[in-house]
Structure 1
Amino acid sequence: MVHTPVHASWTNQIEIFFSIVQRKVVTPNDFTDLTQVRDRLQAFEDRYNATAQPFQWKFTTSDLDDLLARLNRHTPADR
């Protein structure tokens, strides 16, 4: 069993990273063997580590509150 905190923002970061890998490395390619996959992943990792920067979140919690309030005003009450 692995204990993870209730608010595990690091899991979100991992999911984002794997989403990037999926889109930029895995999906657009047709590999013929595992060596190609390994080499492509290694090249991506080297390039990514050299250029990676923290994500700059622009959507704040107050933006979310505003959005949910607007959606709530337009949602029928009997749903």
Structure 2
Amino acid sequence: MSRAQRLAMIVPPSPATPSQRRQCQLLVIGRSSLHYQQREWLTEDLVLMRLIDEHHLLTPVYGSLRITVHLNRLGHRVNRKQVRRLMR
């Protein structure tokens, strides 16, 4: 049985059903999986990642700091932390 199928089997707790904690134990699923929502990529992030990829192909020795400077010169207001996250 796949993980998605096991997650679909978990129901809200009621007097007739075991707690969500117990259901997760029985189905061998981490409880944090119940609350996890996959992050949607923003279109701005996708544009920045495309620009980073293009610039990285031209100058592969540039790190996040130099690419941040390059993106700022192009008019995109980004900081180094954001560029490092997108480069990962």
Q: One fold, TM greater than 0.5? A: no
TM-score (norm 2): 0.33
Computing the radius of gyration from Cα coordinates, the structure with the larger value is 2
TM-score (norm 1): 0.36
